Amino acid sequence: MLEENVALEENLAKVKENIKAACERAGRDAGEVTLVAVSKMKPLEDIETLLKVGQLEYGENYVQELCEKEEHVSRPVHWHMIGHLQTNKVKYIIDKVVLIHSVDSVHLAKQIEKEAAKKNITAQILLQVNVAEEDTKFGMDTDEVLRMAEEISQFPHVHIRGLMTSAPFVEDPEENRCYFRKLHKLFVDIGEKNIDNVTMDILSMGMTNDYEVAIEEGATMVRVGTGIFGERDYNK
Ligand X SMILES: *Cc1c(COP(=O)(O)O)cnc(C)c1O
Residue closer to ligand X (CB basis): 81 or 155: 81
Which DSSP string do the residues of 37-104 spell out, in sequence order? EE-TTS-HHHHHHHHHTT--EEEES-HHHHHHHHHH-SS--EEEE-S---GGGHHHHTTTEEEEEEE-
Taking the alpha carbons at both ends of the chain, their separation in whole angstroms is 20
Q: In a 3-state reduction of DSSP, which class is residue 212? A: helix
Residue closer to ligand X (CB basis): 116 or 207: 207
Residue closer to ligand X (CB basis): 85 or 152: 85
Q: 8, 50 in Cβ contact below 8 A? A: yes
Q: How far is the CB of 116 from ligand X (least distance, A)?
A: 22
Q: How far is the CB of 154 from ligand X (least distance, A)?
A: 27
Q: How far is the CB of 234 from ligand X (least distance, A)?
A: 11
Residue closer to ligand X (CB basis): 128 or 142: 128
Residue 177 CA: distances (Å) to CA of 93, 142, 147, 208, 215: 32, 16, 25, 14, 10
Angle at 78 (CA atoms; ends 107, 156), nearest 5 degrees:
35
Q: How far is the CB of 5 from ligand X (least distance, A)?
A: 19
Contacts of 57 (CB under 8 A, 6+ apart): 34, 35, 36, 37, 77, 78, 80, 98
Q: How far is the CB of 197 from ligand X (least distance, A)?
A: 25
Q: How far is the CB of 149 from ligand X (least distance, A)?
A: 20
Q: 229, 46 in Cβ contact below 8 A? A: yes
Shortest CA distance to 43 belongs to which of 73, 9, 88? 73
User: Percent helix, strand and coil across the chain, each rounded to 5?
Assistant: 45, 20, 35
Residue closer to ligand X (CB basis): 83 or 162: 83
Residue closer to ligand X (CB basis): 63 or 207: 207
Residue sitting closest to ligand X (CB): 225
Residue closer to ligand X (CB basis): 37 or 198: 37
Q: How far is the CB of 102 from ligand X (least distance, A)?
A: 7
Residues that bind ligand X (CB under 6 A): 38, 40, 61, 82-83, 166, 207-209, 223-227
